[in-house]
Amino acid sequence: MAPRKPPTYAEVSYEVDHEIETAIAPFAPPEQAPAWGPDARLSVAGKPLPRVDGYLRTTGRAKYTYDLNLPGTAVGAVLMSPYPRARGVRVNPAAARKVPGVLDVMTGADAENGNKFGTRGAKLFTDAPNFVGEYLAAVVAESPEAAREGVAALAQSLEADEVLPHVVDVADALKPDAPKLDENGNARTGDPEGRGDVAKGFAEAEVEVGAEVSTPVETHACLETHGSVARWEGDALTVHDSTQAVFGVRSGLAATLGIPENKVRVIQSFMGGGFGSKLGLDRYTVIAALFAKRLGRPVKIFLTRRQDLLNTGHRPSSRQRLRAGARKDGTLTALELVSTGPPGSGCGRPISSLYACPNVRVVHTNVQINSGPPRPQRAPGDVQGATGLEVLMDRLAEKLGLDPLALRLKNFAEKDPSSGRPYSTNPLRECYAKGAEQFGWEALRRKRPGSDPGPLKRGVGMGAQIWPGGGAPNWKADCVVNADGTAEVRTGTQDIGTGTKTILCQVAAEELGLPIGKVSITLGDTDAPFGGSSGGSVVTPSSTPAVHEAAHDAKEKLLALAAPILGKEAGDLEASQGRIRAKGETSGGIPFAEVVRKANAGPVVGSGTRILHDRFREFAIYAFGAQFVEVEVDVETGVVRVLRVVAAHDCGRPVNPMLAASQVEGGVIQAICFALYSERILDRRLGDFVNANLHDYRLALLPDVPEIATIFCGAPDAMVSGVGAKGIGEPAIIPTAGAIVNAVHHATGVWCTELPLTPDRVLAALGVA
């Protein structure tokens, strides 16, 4: 049985070097900048400062890509397939050209780049769609209204040589009479992965339990839909894109158009949500660029809400059959997960890596159906897998008569179960202890499940998580100290709403010895030094060491310039509050601006790169956490309300605790959507997404948001970098849904394990009970 390999982002549509980069981490940071140890006295980093762009965001002055309207901009729109499966699909471009205001039409037959998309043989437009929502053609017009009318005219002209049978449900696709979507069949089961001898482990078990858990297809539902603005200046292309990966878009776009990368610039200033769906090049960007070249003017294309939900990916569903074997004292002897779902639905990392168990087996079957492709969605695979695992652990605890927390502590992993490597840090015990204490876990768990009088019943549950925390190598940054003593950080990564601009300014200000108000930042631009994709919680551990290094390099250059001015050796000087003075002095010295001016050196530029140490393979670097949830269930209506969440998480050093807590709160709220509300519904007969809008696709509203308390545990992780910070975006969403299912069981005494836990499903579970 092969060792369990966690699912990579590449398995869910995009090629993102996430798993390779986050599964490895440095033994000791090979940095020039002195590390900030756990007892470092910091004045800016580690403080809950407001966002540096908060004023722009809260006043509406922040310009998102959707807000950008360059002079002379034409507006594009795309026609997507209404067929779930068809061949020989075509449109009549003349139908759209008759519409007043329409400037041009594009199909696969006349796309200037040969109808190419990406480097794997994919087409920009298809004539053989395999799901409702594939690109068929595009229109560009003088106005959004004309573009929409042009697309409507194309839709009226649609013809197909053959409309084929389709299947959009995984269970239906496994039936013998299902339409055959692949010559090798609709299902493909991978080789078993894991460790040890699972059969032996179950034979040794004194207690065995099973669980079946189903999770839904969840869409990203970004408030800003996907879109781009493209313009050419000669042979140089500039694209403003709502993206999580400006460098990824640049390389993909250059390859697709057959032009050098140095002729493509991609910019993202503000973005209204991505959650993994905007991690690479999309077709609308290519179409906008081709239309802009044709017309000699800027072109803007944004998908409609329905198109955004149809075409830009989703978290795939999963159907999990789980088993656990244990001794009577709770020691795990075997764990098994057999899962089925559409492509990209593997979810085996949590069961393989969270608990100490010698025998683990994971088997996954991918099932081909006629629906849109999956894409990474905040902690891809782990949200589904942790939900199943944490339900299984609670069922085992129930059978053993153990407190669920005691069972988890019994099986705490002292080292990485998958690789055998020691952890750089593992404060999960601390997360358990502090979270349980603040929540009041011990007292609340004493209540017998379902024992509350009346229809409103309360219960509590918990869940735990693990997520790679080491970040990625080779992220770069510059730090420029200007002649007036201000500083600017420049790096190519993106702020996708998480506060990256703020924490990088804090790191630079701390290292330089400047007030944060004198530090500005430019990011989200391929003209800046390389920064990777904003996904997988890699941004903080990857970008903060690069900025730390760049600021240190700039400071060392300032000290060297100041030394002859002050008549001192550079090693005897320090920077503080924008001044350079002799070490130990609390006043005097000269301002940065005076140093730059007297040295006649122009702006002082420092550079930094995040480099992984040769010994990174000796350690496993992860972020851990545990969440405790209280729910209320109305057993007459089936409505579940989450009342309270205590989230105890490890993210190394929180560079800005307020923004880190905001990430935790956002993750918890998204997880509540996953557990209780959100579900893509496809019409089996038509193959169409019937709730593709934000009215019928249910998201949490303000009254649904519970009280959320965040606790940060652990210490700065020196194995990650001198800053010691890990990511928190993914970890926050992973354990919540399983904790909610467990809490509903504690409240009602029944197991409802088909998510989302909508009232009809809860009532059905109560009726069965």
Core vs surface per residue 500-521: b (16+ CB within 10 A) or e: bbbbbbbbbbbbbbbebebbbb
**Residue 402 C-alpha from the chain's centroid:** 35
H or E stretch covering 403: none
**Euclidean distance between CA atoms 190 and 346, whole angstroms:** 10
Ordered alpha helix ranges (H), 170-234:
170-173, 198-204
Q: Which residue has the tokens 């229809």?
A: 455
Instruction: Give me the numbers of helices (H) and strands (E) for the chain, helices first please.
Output: 20, 30
764: which residues sit within 8 A by CB, 6+ positions away?
Answer: none
**Residue 235 C-alpha from the chain's centroid:** 34
Query: What single letter denotes the amino acid at residue 480?
Result: V
pLDDT score, position 1: 65
Q: Do residues 225 and 308 touch, judged by C-beta distance below 8 A?
A: yes
Task: Give the pair of three-digit tokens for residue 489.
Answer: 């950080």
Query: What single letter denotes the amino acid at residue 547?
Result: V
**Residue 519 C-alpha from the chain's centroid:** 28
**Euclidean distance between CA atoms 210 and 208, whole angstroms:** 7
Task: Give the pair of three-digit tokens for residue 347.
Answer: 């979810």
Task: Give the pair of three-digit tokens for residue 55.
Answer: 């004023």
Task: Give the pair of three-digit tokens for residue 193.
Answer: 């992965």
Count CA within 13 A, CB hemisphere, residue 477.
36
- The low-confidence residues of the chain, meaning pLDDT below 70, are 1-31, 613-615, 768-769
Question: 703: exposed, middle or buried (C-beta count within 10 Å: 0-12, 13-18, 19+)?
Answer: exposed
Task: Give the pair of three-digit tokens for residue 616.
Answer: 């990174």
**Euclidean distance between CA atoms 680 and 166, whole angstroms:** 17
In three-state form (DSSP H/G/I as H, E/B as E, the rest C), the secondary structure along 286-325 is: HHHHHHHHHHCCCEEEECCHHHHHHHCCEECCEEEEEEEE
**Euclidean distance between CA atoms 109 and 92, whole angstroms:** 12
The partner residues of 591 in beta bridges, in order of sequence, read 579
Closest Cα to residue 715, out of 604, 643, 624? Answer: 624
Residue 718's CB is within 10 A of a number of other CB atoms, namely 21
Transcribe 450-511 into DSSP letters.
T--SSSEEEEEEEEEEEEE----S--EEEEEE-TTS-EEEE-S----SSSHHHHHHHHHHHH
Q: Do residues 1 and 192 touch, judged by C-beta distance below 8 A?
A: yes
Q: Which residue has the tokens 């590390």?
A: 35
Given 19, 549, 730, 754, the catalytic residue:
730
Q: Which residue has the tokens 């970890």?
A: 731
pLDDT score, position 769: 54
Residue 566's CB is within 10 A of a number of other CB atoms, namely 18
**Euclidean distance between CA atoms 359 and 97, whole angstroms:** 64
For residue 622, give the 3-state DSSP assignment: strand
H or E stretch covering 227: strand 227-233
Task: Give the pair of three-digit tokens for residue 212.
Answer: 């079946």
Q: Give the Cα-Cα-Cα angle 453, 456, 458 (nearest 5 degrees).
A: 90
690: which residues sit within 8 A by CB, 6+ positions away?
Answer: 681, 682, 683, 696
What does R_g of the chain's alpha carbons equal in angstroms? 27
Question: 235: exposed, middle or buried (C-beta count within 10 Å: 0-12, 13-18, 19+)?
Answer: exposed
Ordered alpha helix ranges (H), 603-684:
657-672
H or E stretch covering 565: helix 539-566
Residue 560's CB is within 10 A of a number of other CB atoms, namely 17
**Euclidean distance between CA atoms 683 and 459, whole angstroms:** 35
Task: Give the pair of three-digit tokens for residue 479.
Answer: 């730090």
Residue 204 is a catalytic residue: no
**Euclidean distance between CA atoms 137 and 125, whole angstroms:** 6
pLDDT score, position 655: 98
Closest Cα to residue 387, out of 761, 745, 734? Answer: 734
Q: Do residues 554 and 487 touch, judged by C-beta distance below 8 A?
A: yes
pLDDT score, position 24: 35
The DSSP call for residue 164 is P
